[in-house]
Amino acid sequence: MCFYGFSYMENKGELMLLKNVFIEGPDCSGKTTVINSIHKNTNYRYHMFDRSRMSQYLFSVMYERTDLKWSKDLYHQELCDLSNLYVVLLPDLDVVLDRFQKRGDEIHDKSGIESVYFNFKKFAIEESRFPNVIVIRDSENQWKDVLNAIEKYESKKEYEVAKEFVYAKSSKESVGLKISEIGSLNDLKKDYNCMKFKKEKEYYETIEKQFIQKFINETTGDNEYSRKELYDSRRFIFVSDTCISSIHAICRDGKITFQAYMRSSNVDQVRHDYNFIRNLVIVFKNLLLGSSSIPFDLEAYQLDLLFGSAHVVQT
């Protein structure tokens, strides 16, 4: 079975979920050619866009538009979803000007092309401190370099990217950060190291017990409706006012979707929280298989983890 346009078997296990790949850069930097080349050579594996909220914000700054604050907020929201990857093309200015001379531009003259180039260069170099903003300078093998950068990013561990992102912020905090993962349930293995993390071991055990008990209560009819819930219930949810504030599990069409909300998370130990929640996906799968007859095979999972505050604990 295929999800999101590619086969899990082909990609062997879990991958960071890439919702969007934004190809950014100044005019005449090669964006359209790169997108078309990658589509042709990957059979449209990635959802790619020519420009993003990054350009909207940058041009709002350059041209002093009235939507500056709005465009900045929208760019920040887009950037904080680490399933969005920005690849900024920055070949040498001579390359850009040569392309401009050959094809022209509907909006800019030569001075305009140069102005956009230098503004993009300054902005992109600054933003590349974030792990999901990558600058490609080579103009000879652009599409191959971009594809390599995409695949490298896709293979990273989500919690490591989240940690890199927060450390890149001057405030050492990110509000609304989001990380996502997709993969094959057959390839998903439990990580027992997180349960050896003494600081949170008891906390994790408590959440797991409450999560399991909630499932049992719902499937046996111990709820306000006295109704025995089935595999497709929307009521399989753990809720708390602690750091792991909610975990909502849903099963549809052979796929388990886990949506977790972290009220507050120290990114130096977020890998333990993340792997614990991944483990609960397996727990949920086993509970489903043991409690009812599901009319399809459980093949895939998606984990979305949203942070109210992901931060570095200052000492």
| pLDDT mean across residues, the chain | 93
| Domains assigned to the chain | 2-156 (3.40.50.300), 173-311 (no CATH)
pLDDT of residue 139: 84
Examine the pLDDT at 12 and tell me if it is beyond 80.
no
pLDDT the model gives residue 14: 66
Q: Is 256:284 a contact under the CB 8 Å cutoff? A: yes
Inter-CA distances, 64 with 14, 58, 69, 71, 310, Å: 43, 10, 11, 12, 32
Between the alpha carbon of residue 19 and those of residues 75, 160, 178, 203, the distances in Å are: 15, 18, 12, 32
Region 196-214 average pLDDT: 96
Query: What SS3 state is found at 87?
Result: strand
pLDDT of residue 230: 96
Q: How far is 57 from 76, CA to CA, in rounded Å?
A: 10
CA distance 196 to 134: 35
| pLDDT at residue 7 in the model | 40
Which residues, in sequence order, are CB contacts of 78 under 8 Å at separation 6+? 52, 53, 54, 84
User: Is the Cβ–Cβ distance between 164 and 310 less than 8 Å?
Assistant: no
How far is it, in rounded angstroms, from Cα 122 to Cα 118? 6
pLDDT at 6 over 60: no
pLDDT at 5 over 60: no
pTM of the model: 0.91
Q: What is the pLDDT of residues 243-257, one digit of tens each?
A: 999 999 999 999 999
Region 107-131: what's the mean pLDDT? Answer: 94
